[in-house]
A = this chain, B = another copy of it.
Amino acid sequence: MKIAVLGPRGTYTELAARRHFGKKDFVYYSSILEVVKAVEAGNVDAGVVPVESMREGSVGETLDALAWCDVRVTAEIVLPVVHSLLSVKGARLDNIKQVLSHPQALSQCREFLRTKLPKVELIEVSSTARAAEQVSSAGSLEVAALGPKELAEIYGLEVLVENVSGDEENLTRFFCLGREKVQRTGRDKTSIVFYTERDRPGILYEILGEFAHRQINLTKIESRPSKKVLGDYLFFVDFEGHEDDEIVKEALEGLRKKTAMLKILGSYPRRF
């Protein structure tokens, strides 16, 4: 079974995919859109993409790809994001002069950096996996990376200090993508995206009425620029229930009449 994930090796997306699928044949792509397109084209059996994090909010690139590509959300995965300080074998904390990581990871670990490594130079790179890769190829005892401890094994590094990202928990939600519909389990969630043709007062209110009148609980709503005009939005909504449930079918029927575009991204077992 081939699973598309975001590269390079050891990204949080790959960790989420391993958590869900176990050890599989992972195929690495350099962008979220490429992961989604690989699933759509049938080049892989499934894909995993990040969709939102508790601290950073939604991942725009994922929402856009889901709106316009022909794939189905088949599961949600929730993973805590915990960073460790990684370095080459033999390095010591008091010799570290540079720390590399993604800006968000550096920010999440700022308490640790401020108190334990106040004099180091912080270098921002594009992902935690990329940071580990660079520390590994530099081979210096003076540089370290912040990222998931699993990167140590992948890039031949050592965990110098474990879990330095502070007390605040940072859960990240990922979607598994496939091409087939998932059967209802009785405790499901459905994700949809829609677009309203005319921007008139009350249209979103009327649309949400289709859910409220049927006691369907919304778990998320987000407007996102449609990329045509600033101020013109797509709406991404998650709610409890499966697209095969009778009341969900009725609500979606009502939505279809009120929207210019409605797409069911998928129904999948609810994880939180």
Chain A interfacial positions (CB closer than 8 Å to B): 31, 52-58, 60-61, 63, 78, 103, 107, 124-126, 130, 168, 171, 173, 199-202, 204-206, 208-209, 211-212, 215-225, 227, 230-231, 233, 235, 272
Please determine whether B208 and A205 come into contact, CB atoms closer than 8 angstroms: yes
Residues of chain B within 8 A (CB-CB) of A219 are: 199, 231
Residues of B near A225 (CB, < 8 A) are 52-55, 57
| Residue in B125, B205, B223, B272 whose beta carbon sits within 8 Å of that of A211 in the complex | B205
If A56-B60, A168-B227 are given as contacts, then 13 extra A-B residue pairs at C-beta distance below 8 Å, sorted by A number, are A52-B225, A54-B227, A55-B60, A57-B63, A58-B58, A78-B230, A103-B126, A199-B219, A200-B217, A201-B211, A202-B215, A204-B218, A219-B231
Q: Residues of B contacting A63 with CB < 8 Å?
A: 57
Query: Is there an interface contact between A60 and B60, defined as CB atoms closer than 8 Å?
Result: no
Residues of B within 8 A of A56 (CB): 60-61
Contact B230 A54 (CB under 8 A): yes
Point out the residues of chain B lying under 8 angstroms from A272, CB to CB: 230-231
A173 touches B212 (CB 8 A): no
- Which of B54, B130, B212 has a CB less than 8 Å from the CB of A205? B212
Nearest B residue to A102, CB-CB: B126
Contact of A223 among B125, B173, B216, B222 (CB under 8 A): B222
A103 cross-chain contacts in B, Cβ below 8 A: 126
- A52-B225, A221-B223, A225-B52 as given contacts; A208 in contact with B211, CB under 8 Å: no
| A233 B220 Cβ-Cβ under 8 A | yes
Considering only CB atoms, which chain B residue lies closest to A217 in the complex? B201
Q: Are B221 and A212 in contact (CB under 8 A)?
A: no
With contacts A55-B227, A130-B124, A272-B230 taken as known, whether A221 is within 8 angstroms of B204 at the C-beta atoms is yes
> How far apart sit A81 and B58, CA to CA, in the bound complex (Å)?
21
Q: Which residue of B lies closest to A54 (CB)?
A: B225
A57, B230: Cβ atoms closer than 8 Å: no
What residues on B are CB-neighbors of A222 within 8 Å? 221-223
A111 to chain B, nearest CB (A): 14
In the complex, what distance in Å separates the CA atom of A200 from the CA atom of B53? 22
Instruction: Report the separation of the CA atoms of residues A202 and B214 in the bound assembly, to the nearest whole angstrom.
Output: 9
CA distance A218 to B91 in the complex (A): 55
Query: How many whole Å from A58's CB to the nearest CB in chain B?
Result: 7
A258 CB → nearest B CB, Å: 13
